[in-house]
Amino acid sequence: MSYLLEFPPRGPLPSKARSPPYVLFGINGDDCFHHFPPEVPLDVVLHYVPKLKQWILPIPSLSPKAQKMALTKPYIGIDILGPFRAEAVSEIVVRMLQHAGVLLPRKNFYIHPTIRFSIAIQEAWLAFELPIAGLANLHTHMQALLTHGPPIQDSEMRTLWGMFPITSPIIYEMGMNYVRSLLEKQYTQSQVSTIRLWHAGDREPKTFFEKLESQFPQLDTARSEIFAE
């Protein structure tokens, strides 16, 4: 799914950008380079995401396994600090390698990202100070997934609500996913109660969902049937 990401124009790559040293990635001190392609040139990484330069580690700071790898090939460690999912960061790295003309095997491509995985990609992308415009295709994918995909869960709803303005098409499709899933009785009693508790405790989502639900009077029947089971 890396094709859904677009980096801003940064000019041509340095002439030897695809040469070593290569990057060994970690997140919060934990090795996670097994989630990444084996040879990620440092110059390519810093060309597309300059912010990653602040997390470069000297060789002595690498884990024992990473230090052993650095004996056979020139590696540099980048230990990213933050609540990031390694697979999501890897998708960003795969996209920059594509832009740099590096051929990658099929196993490096995550084809059908879920809502939760798409959220993780956006969180990493914005934390790396990349422009939100580069996520336009990812947002289109998220809208399609909300329209045709499985029922949206409480934690996903809360996260999306905090990530997008109330006027966003993603928020609208999130609401419609909830309405549709409720009408089809795809939620349990516990799930409905948890979601409604969130609505009731915050004025903005409460107003949004009340307005949306008012267009579907049959929701009361569906909700009653769920709680009668």
Chain segment 80-109, per-residue pLDDT in tens: 999 999 999 999 999 999 999 888 866 666
3-state secondary structure of 33: helix
Whether 23 has a pLDDT exceeding 60, the answer reads yes
51-71 pLDDT tens trace: 999 999 875 455 666 555 554
149-195 pLDDT tens trace: 999 999 999 999 999 999 999 999 999 999 999 999 999 999 999 99
Pairing type for strands 75-80 and 22-27 reads parallel
3-state secondary structure of 56: strand
pLDDT of residue 200: 84
pLDDT of residue 111: 67
